[in-house]
Structure 1
Amino acid sequence: MTTTSESLEAEFEEYLPNRLADEASMAVNAFNHNSKVRKEGWEDPGDAYDAVGSLVHMARMLPQAIEQATRPVSWTHLRGRLRMAENQDPDAALAELDVARMAAESAARHLTSALQRVQNAMVHMGAVIEDAAEPTECNRCGDAFDPADTKMHGAKRRYPASRFCCACVDGCHDNERADHRCVVCS
């Protein structure tokens, strides 16, 4: 099922943003608990690649989420209703909040880059398929593997530890995007 931004907005429109942020943190916590042990569907490099891709996608959205999470403070300040403890200056406090927010947004952008590096490091990893017949043709293009084809690029020999020919793997130029989901990479 493909989910668009508009359908997500409609589905969660009734929820307050702070509740959605709480549910997102609980989902990350659940991932942390459920990813500790190997289980069916969570045992191969492809499973890790997909999970890290989702983390990249989430990290990419964090700067916007951080900025929007602080908006109620700005709105309250603009209406002249921001109350401060111990006679602190609201303008100075808001300026400090802006500095802290920008630092958090920058850290989120660095996290996105770091996670992309993690995912890129896994892009050509796979698992040896146990107790299965060696494939004789590419799962993408259907061409028979030719072990004698020794060209550097576009070869029809089998790409190591995969179900694809070298030509199809070479043709996947979009593997640096976190949301990339082609038959070769997924």
Structure 2
Amino acid sequence: MTTPGRTASKAGDLIRQFNHDTITTGDGWQYPPHAYDAIGSLAYLVGMLPQAIEQTLLPVKRTHEHGRVAVDGGGDPERAVTELGAAVATAAGLARSLSRSMDQMHAAVSPLGLDTRGMPEFAEDGEV
């Protein structure tokens, strides 16, 4: 059964793989258009983070509304849920800021390309 926690874990695994794949350059990861594609995909991912972060609070809120939240050590559920809500709001706000920065990165890399003049692998038939 797929759960939201497992789905988020898979996303983390994929980002870890992306980090591994981009340590060095090679086929598919050596020119500005490759960066453009990756930055665009990361911007898309980051753009969805605020909603994902905010929605992590839903199970806690529902449980709290039914008076069923327990806190280890006998802590105050109202206080704990309030603190969690504040942390979620902060994280979602920071994710929105990161999303704006990623969009700026994507726009900044957009005009960059590769000057292929003199590169034999890009020569047209008959060119040297």
State whether TM-score is above 0.5: yes
Partner residue of 1:111? 98
- Displacement of 1:119 in angstroms is 1.3
**Which residue among 56, 59, 68 is the counterpart of 2:46?**
59
Alignment of 1:1-186 (within 5 A): 14-129=1-116, 130-131=119-120, 132-133=123-124
One-letter amino acid of the counterpart of residue 119, structure 1: H
- Higher helix fraction: Structure 1 or Structure 2? 2
Cα-to-partner distance string for 1:101-151 (whole Å, 9 max, x where unaligned): 0000000000001111111111111012222139xxxxxxxxxxxxxxxxx
CA distance in 2, matches of 1:92, 1:69: 18
Specify every segment of 5 or more residues in structure 1 that has no aligned partner in the other structure, as ranges: 1-13, 135-186
CA distance in 2, matches of 1:33, 1:100: 30
- Displacement of 1:87 in angstroms is 2.4
- Displacement of 1:17 in angstroms is 0.5
Higher relative contact order (CA 8 A, sep 6+): 2
State the 4+ residue runs in structure 1 displaced beyond 4 angstroms.
Answer: none
TM-score normalized by structure 1?
Answer: 0.62
Cα-to-partner distance string for 1:141-184 (whole Å, 9 max, x where unaligned): xxxxxxxxxxxxxxxxxxxxxxxxxxxxxxxxxxxxxxxxxxxx
- Displacement of 1:24 in angstroms is 0.3
- Displacement of 1:28 in angstroms is 0.5
- Displacement of 1:73 in angstroms is 1.3
Determine what percentage of the aligned residue pairs are the same residue: 36
Paired residues in the alignment total 121
One-letter amino acid of the counterpart of residue 25, structure 1: G
One-letter amino acid of the counterpart of residue 53, structure 2: I
- Displacement of 1:70 in angstroms is 2.2
- Displacement of 1:88 in angstroms is 1.6
- Displacement of 1:74 in angstroms is 1.3
Q: CA RMSD in A?
A: 1.4
Secondary structure of residue in 2 paired with 1:38: coil
